[in-house]
Every structure is written in C-alpha cells, then in structure tokens.
Amino acid sequence: MSRTTKTAAVASAAAAATLALGLTAAPALAVTPGTFTANLNGTMTINAGVSATCTSSTLKGSVAADGTTASYTSASAGGCGVTVTPGALPWSGSFSGGVAKINGFSMSAVGCTYGGNLTGTYTGTNFPLTVTFANQTVNKTSGLFCPSSATVTAKYDYTQP
C-alpha cells in the first residue's frame, strides 16, 4: 500500500469512527412531548412554622416538542386541614437529566402566599415518572403575620393519557 493510500485509509477509518460515535452517542434525556397528569403519591407537606399535610393534589400540563420544557396549567390540593389554593398559573418547568423543576410555583393558605421554584429528582427515563420534591424552600410573597418562608415536600406520579 502506498503512503498516499495508507493516509487516505487512516483518514477514512478515523472519519468513519467519528461518524459512528456521533450517531451512537446517547441523546439528551427527554420525555415524550404532550399532556401529562401528576397525582400526589403519599402526602404533600407545606411547613410555614405550622405544617399543613395534604392528602390529595393533582398537577396538569404539557411538555413541549423539545421534550424538556413543561407548562403547568392546572393544580389542586385537598385534604390539607385548611384551604390550600394554588395560584399564579401557568407555572413553567422542565425535565432534564433526572432533574425536574417547577418555576413560578405559588400556594396560598390561611392568608399567606408562598412562591418560588421547586427542584426535584425523577426516576425513569420517560413517562410514567415519579418526581420527588424534598424540603424545597419558597418565600412569602404576601400576607401579614406570616413566616418569611415555607418548605414543600411532595412526591408525584406523572403519566400521559
């Protein structure tokens, strides 16, 4: 084999290996686009000095075509012992690399409103997903005689129809 032929063969092999690596590299983790429903798995605790433990909660929304960006258009909470009202919907969010986020989260109870961003972890690589938000701090956004922050702990099972 001539020197030119050897160089061309090595270059071709390198190009083929690079192309094969590029084609087989794992894509960014994304979930199936479309609507979802997330049902509370267990209880949700909102602690602002006094705990409210909710026994039901449902979140609804959709995942954009990119498979990571989420929009939460509906939220409910029940069985809390006090009236807990989700607010400031829609909330935005994302699913990426085992991390789930809800941005713009807002809940009101007993004249106090708390809001902020929740960051949790999820198991699974696509729907159904179980997302756990553990001891997420949200700050007071309104209310008199309310603690300056609260923590939220909840686990949700996300499914698609």
Q: Would you place residue 148 in the very low, low, confident or very high pLDDT band (cuts 50, 70, 90)?
A: very high
Q: Would you place residue 30 in the very low, low, confident or very high pLDDT band (cuts 50, 70, 90)?
A: confident
Burial of 114 (0-12, 13-18, 19+ CB in 10 A): buried
Asked if 53 and 45 count as a contact pair (C-beta separation under 8 A), the reply is yes
- Read off the pLDDT of residues 92-134 as tens digits, 9 standing for 90 and up: 999 999 999 999 999 999 899 999 999 999 988 899 999 999 9
pLDDT exceeds 80 at position 24: no
CA angle 21, 23, 28 (to 5 degrees): 100
pLDDT exceeds 70 at position 57: yes
pLDDT at 29: 56
| 26 or 28, which is more confident | 28
Q: Which positions ≥6 away from 54 have C-beta within 8 Å?
A: 40, 43, 44, 45, 46, 77, 78, 79, 80, 84
- Structural domains of the chain, ranges and CATH numbers in brackets: 34-159 (2.40.160)
pLDDT at 9: 37
- Read off the pLDDT of residues 66-93 as tens digits, 9 standing for 90 and up: 999 999 999 999 999 999 999 999 999 9
Helix (H) or strand (E) holding 18: helix 3-24
Least confident of 5-14, 58-67, 93-102: 5-14
